[in-house]
């Protein structure tokens, strides 16, 4: 694959994001994880939309000589909040080659959604174990493109 598309629809009664940079996980937003099974390197990327409507991106972890800033520049992000439906749609695409993802080779993927209703981080929900309580990519689900 050339690109890995991620689309998440989050039902959230109150959208609140007042953080920047390393702290964006403290507000509403996503943390997206890719881990290479061969090299063991892991990407940890965050995307969020702040209270003023500005898109925020941050790279907490990158494998080896990976360039987190370059990756963030390459990934388009769309975050649309629908106040009537009380949901937020997050969409982004990652260049597979930069992530080290190639057809026929397994990698691990996980995703965490952060929640903040204006009084601090209320909690989070994850696709699979290995993120919230501990950072253990060995618990992430395997993905392989054939």
Dihedral through CA 68, CA 70, CA 75, CA 78, nearest 10?
A: 80
Closest CA to 41 of 131, 126, 137: 137
Task: Please tell me the pTM assigned to this model.
Answer: 0.94
pLDDT in tens, 44-96: 999 999 999 999 999 999 988 889 999 999 999 999 999 999 999 999 999 99
């Amino acid at each position: 694959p050339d690109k890995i598309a991620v689309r998440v629809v989050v039902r959230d009664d109150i959208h609140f994001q007042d953080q920047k940079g390393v702290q964006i996980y403290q507000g509403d937003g996503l943390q997206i994880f890719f881990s290479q099974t061969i090299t063991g390197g892991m990407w940890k990327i965050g995307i969020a939309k702040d209270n003023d409507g500005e898109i925020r991106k941050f790279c907490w972890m990158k494998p080896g000589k990976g360039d987190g800033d370059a990756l963030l520049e390459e990934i388009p992000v769309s975050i649309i909040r629908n106040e009537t439906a009380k949901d937020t749609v997050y969409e982004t695409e990652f260049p597979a080659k930069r992530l080290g993802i190639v057809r026929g080779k397994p990698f691990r993927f996980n995703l965490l959604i952060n929640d903040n209703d204006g009084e601090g981080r209320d909690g989070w929900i994850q696709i699979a174990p290995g993120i919230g309580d501990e950072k253990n990519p060995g618990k992430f689900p395997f993905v392989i493109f054939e």
